[in-house]
Each structure stands twice: as C-alpha cells, then as structure tokens.
C-alpha cells in the first residue's frame, strides 16, 4: 500500500509511520511527503530517508481552490493509495476530497473523537476536568474531524497536567495508533490505483 503523508511542521507522526514501514510492522510504503510549509522540520527527515518530498505553500496562492488544485497537480501521476494527514494544518475542502484520486484520506486527531473536534484539544479536556483523553485516527470527510474512526488510544489525565504535558503523553500513543490504523486498512479489500509518472521533485 502506497502512502502520501501531508505535514506542516515537526512530522513526528510521519516519522513513526516511516519507521513502522521500515521495520515491517506496517505493510506500506511512504512514497511522498508533502508540506504546505517549506520550513517544516519533517521534510528534513523525509529527505534523509530518500523519500520524495514536495512543498505546496498555501501562501503562494490567492485562493484555497488554487492551493488545492496545485496539490492535486503535485500528486497527479504518483501512485498513492492513501493520503495520511499528520499534523497538516490546512482544512481540505469537499471539492479536494471528491477529486482526490486515492482510495482514502485519513487523519490523526489528538482527542477521543467525537469529543473535542478542532483545535486546543488538550486544554479543553483539562478545562472540562476529564480523567482520560487520547487520540483518534479517522477517515477525512467534508465535515471537520467527523469521519469514521479507525483506531483510538486512550491516555489518563494526571493531577498537575498542563496542556503541554498531556500533549506529550497523547503523542506517544499517536505514534502507535497511526501505523496500526494503516495496517488495518492494508488488510482491507484489494486497492486498485493508477500508475502514472510523477511531477514532484
């Protein structure tokens, strides 16, 4: 199964997927890492692994439509079964999701969906006095953070937690949840996707 991973920054989830593919625990191959941020740290890791990378900077476009068209152009011709959003800080439109040639788009979200869609999930969980929180890998649909969940992992909220401490504890589980979700999808029905030449450098 061929994966494109979209990132915007650190890329630790991308790294965990690449490593799980390398050590054989995840039956997939990362064929592209795309970022909307030319400075994304994760790009450095991807390049060091010889993975094809591509930058489509949203700031270079006047409209979301033009930005997304450019992403579609960038992935056109690359054999991709699944797009994995991993800390990709742009919301993809229904138009992009419809036009995307791959089988599925999936995302990792730092909460136990359907709780805490959107941003600042850890602070919101703390403010609500939650005793546990976690992360979810889910299908991406036109509605934000609302697609079916593939894998969830829970973590305890501890006394004295801050949003930062909680984020680190959840992140450890994210690094397990994402490769697990991809492995589950790889076991699904046979995926058929076109082979065309790549445009990305």
Residues that bind ligand GRF (CB under 6 A): 7, 9-13, 86-87, 108-110, 171, 174
SS (H, E, C) 52-69: CEEECCHHHCCCHHHHHH
Nearest to 112 by CA among 103, 122, 104, 102: 122
The least distance separating ligand GRF from the CB of residue 195, rounded to whole angstroms, comes to 29
Is residue 190 among the annotated active site residues? no
- Its sign, for the CA torsion 175, 29, 55, 143, is negative
* Closest-approach residue to ligand GRF (CB): 87
Name the residue nearer to ligand GRF (CB basis): 109 or 130.
109
Q: Taking a C-beta distance cutoff of 8 angstroms, is the pair 79, 195 a contact?
A: yes
List phi, psi (to 5°) of 5. Answer: -115, 130
Catalytic residue, candidates 58, 109, 122, 195: 109
The least distance separating ligand GRF from the CB of residue 34, rounded to whole angstroms, comes to 13
Name the residue nearer to ligand GRF (CB basis): 89 or 97.
89
The least distance separating ligand GRF from the CB of residue 121, rounded to whole angstroms, comes to 8
* Measured distance CA(185)–CA(194) in Å, rounded: 18
Name the residue nearer to ligand GRF (CB basis): 75 or 111.
111
């Amino acid at each position: 199964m061929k994966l494109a991973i979209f990132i915007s920054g650190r890329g630790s989830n991308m790294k965990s997927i690449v490593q799980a593919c390398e050590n054989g625990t995840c039956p997939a191959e990362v064929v592209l890492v795309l970022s909307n941020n030319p400075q994304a740290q994760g790009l450095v890791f991807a390049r060091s692994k010889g993975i094809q990378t591509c930058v489509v900077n949203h700031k270079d476009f006047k409209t979301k439509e033009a930005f997304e068209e450019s992403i579609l152009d960038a992935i056109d011709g690359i054999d991709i079964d699944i797009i994995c959003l991993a800390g990709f800080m742009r919301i993809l439109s229904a138009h992009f999701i419809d036009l995307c040639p791959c089988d599925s788009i999936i995302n990792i979200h730092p909460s136990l969906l359907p709780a805490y869609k959107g941003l600042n999930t850890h602070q919101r969980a703390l403010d609500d006095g939650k005793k546990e929180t976690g992360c979810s890998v889910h299908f991406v649909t036109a509605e934000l953070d609302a697609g079916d969940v593939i894998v969830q992992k829970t973590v305890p909220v501890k006394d004295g937690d801050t949003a930062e401490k909680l984020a680190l504890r959840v992140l450890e589980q994210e690094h397990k949840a994402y490769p697990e979700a991809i492995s589950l999808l790889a076991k699904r029905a046979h995926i058929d996707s076109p082979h065309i030449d790549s445009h990305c450098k």
